[in-house]
Each structure stands twice: as C-alpha cells, then as structure tokens.
Amino acid sequence: MRIAVFSDVHSNLEALSAFIEHSMTRNIHRYVCLGDIVGYGANPNQCIRLLQSIPDIFFVLGNHDNAAGSEIVAMNGDAGRAILWTKRRLTLQNTGFLKGMSENISLENLFFCHANPSGKSDWYYIAEKAYISRTFFRSRAKILFAGHTHAAAVITRKNFFCVYIRKPENGAVVPVASLNRQIFNCGSIGQPRDGDPRASYIIYDSEKSVVEFHRVEYDHKRAANKILAAGLPGLLADRLLTGS
C-alpha cells in the first residue's frame, strides 16, 4: 500500500490543489491528513471541501483546527488573528467537521498525529532531544508520522541515548529502518518553514518499505496576494514567498 501523508494545509487552496494533482499520478491508495487544515490562509472552507472530495482519506486534528472549532481562541499574535478571521468565515457544517476530527490514528505498526502523541493536551514540537525522547516514550509504534513543525525530517532512534536527525531533500527515498523506531515529519503543504516555499509531503510505501519525500511548486504569489486582499496579517503572506 502507498499512503500519502501530508499536514498543515493552512487554508492555502493553491498549494493543496497542486499537491493533490502531483500525488494523483503516483499510485496512492490512501491519504492521511495530519491536521491544521485551517488558519493563516485565505480559503478555509474551500480547502475543507476539496479534502472531503478525496475518496480514501483519514483526518487528524491540528492545533489550529482545534482553535477554530473552540469557543475561546487560546492563540496569540498573527495565529490568533487568523483564527478569529477563520472562525467568522467557517460554515457551521465545516466547524462541526473540524470538531469531529480524531486526535490521532493507529494503523497496525503506524501511528499518525499532528504535533505528537499527546494530542490536545500538549502541542509540543518534536524537535529538541528531550521532546524526541518523550515522543518515543509516549508512543510504542514502530513508525510515527507527524507534522506541525512545517519542516520535513526523519528522526531515527538508535538507542535510548542516541537519535539521528536527517533533513531530506526533494526526491529523497528513505528506507524504513528494519529494527530502529522512526518519526517521519512530512513538512507543510500550505506554509513551509524550512527555506523551500514548495509544498511538502511524503509517501509511505509499505511494500518497498521506504518513505519518499516530495516538494511541489505552486502559485505561492497568488496565495500570498489572497492573504493580503483578505486583510490577514502581511507577515503570513511574506512567509509563503520565502518558505520561512
């Protein structure tokens, strides 16, 4: 089976459309969306509708989806302003859809989450070593998939004291470790922050036992202009142009 894993669409319809078109030619059997469908960008309802049109897709809740579906917005700065903007525009049906998303998904030896296995109770980033260790402790799955950092990565646990972190390039095909446990971060579709503005996603191929890393070009100038035209904070448009 080939599973396309992606995250952090952040209401960016141009990036989402480009990713779907790219993945459709790559023999995908199932899609898993790791959350943060909304927030930051100008097209929350359109992105939800487009994602719902994908036949075999699973959804995991992100922190921005959670905030957009909550009464009180516990977010500050540009993120908080964008969530308030989003809440005013989401249809009742789409707000209900966000509220109903799972906190995480387990499939045999695979675990899918937005930020980490803690779900709503703690949206910490799997980046520093202490948090990487905490993550391997909280989930027993052989392979864990996450987003949230907006930066693609492979983290391999060598032993209790040693982890190895790799930042894969576009087109990298990373073998799944036969014995060691791993975390694969798929990066972000709609707001990459690893210096490459192209949409980022991965494909897990269970038969070949590899993870492919893909970057997809899209019209990020158009998406940025929509953010400005919507009256959302200008910094959110700038980030799409630089990928940082």
Summarize as ranges the residues that interact with Fe ion (CB under 5 A). Answer: 36, 62-63, 148
CA angle 161, 164, 169 (to 5 degrees): 170
Nearer to Fe ion, 23 or 63 (CB): 63
In the bound state, the residue with its beta carbon closest to Fe ion is 148
Cα distance between residue 101 and residue 84, in whole Å: 20
- Residue with Cβ nearer Fe ion (58 or 125): 125
Cβ-based nearer residue to Fe ion, 148 or 198: 148
In the bound complex, what is the minimum distance in angstroms from residue 103's beta carbon to Fe ion? 13
* C-alpha 220 chain-centroid distance: 17
Residue 131 corresponds to which tokens in the numbers above?
């948090």
Q: CB of residue 58 vs Fe ion: minimum separation in angstroms?
A: 17
Closer by beta carbon to Fe ion, 115 or else 176: 115
Backbone angles phi, psi at 137, to 5 degrees: -75, -40
Distance (Å, rounded) from C-alpha 130 to C-alpha 113? 18
**E-strand spans in 42-168?**
57-59, 104-107, 110-113, 143-146, 153-157, 163-166
- Closer to Fe ion at the Cβ: 123 or 142? 123
CB of 36 to Fe ion, least distance (A): 4
Residue 60 β-bridge partners: 102
Shortest approach of Fe ion to residue 8 CB, angstroms? 6
Q: Which residue, chain included where needed, has tokens 């097209």?
A: 43
Question: Minimum Å distance from CB 113 to Fe ion?
Answer: 11
